[in-house]
């Protein structure tokens, strides 16, 4: 169990850091087209920001910000986004995960539609990786009994 240690310096520093970490994570996901990065890396950083909250505060605070139901929802949402884009491509007359046909519903040319498709799946990957990171950390850190932390 992670006991909450009331340390003003640690809690203030982490509260100050977390928004910047999350902003950087979104940057890594969105900028994966132009620099090293993408869904896996960005999702990991996003998950790490919640783990930092868990380390600096406690599990209760983490679950107040990211409830277990929401986390489980994000966990599957990423895979659904990824597989859903593939099915949308099939519905538009292309092959599975052939993003070129997305230009029929988005105002871009076929090559731009591929770039857009990559961005959408990276966002999906980011959701899943973030949620799985948080879920595994909470379960391992609390031996799977983290609902007792919520009064």
Site residues, another protein (CB under 8 A): 32-36, 38-40, 72, 75-76, 78-79, 82-83, 86, 96-97, 99, 111-112, 114-115, 117-118, 121-122, 124-125, 128-129, 131-132, 135-136, 139-140, 143-145, 147-148
Using an 8 Å Cβ cutoff, are 40 and 67 in contact? no
Give min distance, CB of 52 to another protein, in A.
19
Cα dihedral 35, 39, 45, 46 in deg (nearest 10): 130
Token pair for 139: 């379960």
Q: Which is nearer to another protein, 7 or 109 (CB)?
A: 109
- In terms of Cα–Cα distance, which of 29, 32, 71 is closest to 51? 71
Give min distance, CB of 12 to another protein, in A.
31
């Amino acid at each position: 169990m992670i006991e909450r240690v009331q340390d003003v310096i640690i809690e203030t520093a982490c509260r100050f850091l977390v928004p910047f970490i999350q902003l950087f994570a979104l940057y890594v996901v969105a900028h994966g087209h132009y620099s090293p990065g993408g869904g896996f890396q960005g999702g990991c950083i996003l998950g790490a920001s919640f783990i930092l909250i868990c380390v600096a505060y406690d599990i209760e605070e983490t679950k107040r910000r990211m409830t277990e139901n929401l986390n489980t929802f994000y966990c599957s949402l990423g895979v659904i986004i990824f597989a859903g884009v593939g099915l949308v491509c099939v519905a538009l007359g292309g092959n599975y995960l052939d993003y070129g046909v997305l230009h029929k519903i988005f105002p871009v040319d076929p090559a731009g539609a591929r770039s857009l498709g990559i961005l959408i799946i990276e966002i999906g990957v980011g959701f899943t990786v973030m949620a799985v990171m948080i879920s595994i950390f909470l379960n391992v850190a609390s031996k799977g009994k983290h609902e007792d932390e919520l009064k």
